[in-house]
Every structure is written in C-alpha cells, then in structure tokens.
Amino acid sequence: MGKATIIGLILGWFLMILSIALGGIEKLRIFVDVPSICIVIGGAIASVLVAYPIKSVLKTLGIIKITFTAQDQDVLETIMQIVSLSESARREGLLSLENRMEEIDNNFLATGLRMAVDGISPEVVEGIMNTEIDAVNSRHAYNQLLIANFGKYAPAFGMIGTLIGLVLMLADLDPDTIGSGMAVALLTTLYGAIISNLMLLPWADKLGFINANEIQTMEITLKGVIAIQSGENPRVIKQKLLMYLAPKDRPEDEEETN
C-alpha cells in the first residue's frame, strides 16, 4: 500500500519536471520561488490552525506517514485464522482458545475472544466490539478530514499569493519586467494546485481507503467471534465470512464448504 503512494508521488513529480525540462533545462529555476512556497504552505497551516486544535495539527506528519507505512489488511488470512479457532473451539470447547491466544496478532480478535472465553454474553461482546469499530472509524475520519482541509486551503492561498504578486507588480508597473513579474505571481497558484492535487488530497483519499480496509477486517472479526461463541459449525463460519470477499479472491476450495 505504501509503495503505491511512493510510486505515485515520484511519477507525478517526474512528469511535471519532464514537461518543464522539455522546454529547456535552464527554465527549471524559473519555477522555484521560496516566498511563493512559504505563502502556500504557511497559509494552509494557518487556516488549519484556525479550524482545529493545535494538538491535532501537530499530529499531521504522523498521519501522513500512515499513507507510506500502512500495510494491506490480509482479510483472507484473518478469515482462515478465525475458522481455525472455531475448529479448536468446536473440538475442545471455547475455553481451549486460551491456549491459542499467543498466536493471535490481531488485538481486536484477541480482545473479542477473551471476552467470549470469560463467559460474557454475545450481546455484550458484540456491543463492546461495535463500539471500538465506531471509535476507530470516527478517529480515522477525523484524521482524513484534517488532511483534506490542508488540501482545500492550499490552492486558496496559492490564489491569494498570486493576487498579492499582481498588486505589487501593478503598483510599480514596468513594461520591461511585467513578464517576469506575472510569472512569479502565477507560481503560487501553481504551487497550491500541485501540493493539493498531487499530495494532500490523494493522501486524504488513501487514508479513506486504509480506513475502509481496516473497518472491513474488524467487521469480519466481529462476525467471526460471535459465530465462535455461538458454537456455529466452522464450515458455516467459513462460508459466511468468505462472502465478504469478491469471488475471485476466495480460495479455490470454497466449494468444499457448501
């Protein structure tokens, strides 16, 4: 998942630099203007600080890092682990799952099974696990909106920077420098568009994809825990959980569960 983010960024920057370089490699320096970069990035940060608590804004880099480091949730692996646990519970009883807790890396699954083993009613287990799913979904949606708002404000400050540049240029109009002055003024709009559409908004969309993937895995885990606690047949549990996958992603022996 993180590799796609890196590849996309490299490809996007490469195509833009290539298009500029094709017009003359010496023209690359025309597109570098530090004040323009500062007003776009600084302005977007200022707007987000107005809209959000400072402790949330300070987490921005950590949130963006997730788009580079997040791993795909292996839904099929989770399903097969749940089926294996259900087989143990079916053969040896629900309490036997205590001996398999150490092999479970999924904390959400482990928590649900511990509650089941402790004899907590299925309704309470389901309620607690649903509460955690809602909390995770809400937290991720908040982070996604934070990055999306950075992407929303960056182009606006790009336009503001362009307007400032035009005002300064027109206030001291010189026919000999009007071309270069206009070019510098337009750079902030360019920076705002690039930062928003190549980085911030795609990062927000990637966070949404990561969240959807994680929530789906958690929902499958919840269904599996309740099914195990209810003593359902492992073959039925497997068939039920595989319905979350597209037909092409289901194992070839799926028909054996029918």
Summarize the confidence of residues 85-94 as an average pLDDT.
92
Same domain for 119 and 164:
yes
pLDDT at 55: 95
Give percent above pLDDT 70 in the chain: 97
In whole angstroms, give the CA distance from residue 92 to residue 101: 15
* Average pLDDT along the chain: 91
177 or 153, which is more confident?
Answer: 153
CA torsion angle for 72, 77, 83, 87 (degrees, to 10)? -140
Please choose, from the candidates 10, 240, 224, the residue with its C-alpha nearest in 3D space to the C-alpha of residue 109. Answer: 224
User: Could you report the per-residue pLDDT of 244-254, keeping only the tens digit for each?
Assistant: 998 888 887 65
Same domain for 46 and 104:
yes
Domain that holds residue 27: 1-31
Angstrom distances, CA of residue 236 to CA of 20, 88, 224, 245? 59, 15, 11, 15
Same domain for 99 and 48:
yes
Same domain for 165 and 250:
yes
pLDDT at 255: 45
pLDDT at 13: 94
Same domain for 37 and 14:
no
pLDDT at 253: 64
Summarize the confidence of residues 150-171 as an average pLDDT.
91
Same domain for 40 and 22:
no
Same domain for 19 and 105:
no
Helix, strand or coil, per DSSP, at residue 77: helix
* Rg of the chain over all Cα atoms, to the nearest angstrom: 26
Same domain for 103 and 15:
no
Same domain for 13 and 77:
no
pLDDT at 85: 95
User: Could you report the per-residue pLDDT of 169-221, keeping only the tens digit for each?
Assistant: 888 777 777 777 788 889 999 999 999 999 999 999 999 999 999 999 999 99
Please choose, from the candidates 199, 218, 231, the residue with its C-alpha nearest in 3D space to the C-alpha of residue 79. Answer: 218
Domain count across the chain: 2
119 or 23, which is more confident?
Answer: 119
Same domain for 37 and 25:
no
Same domain for 19 and 111:
no
Same domain for 37 and 5:
no
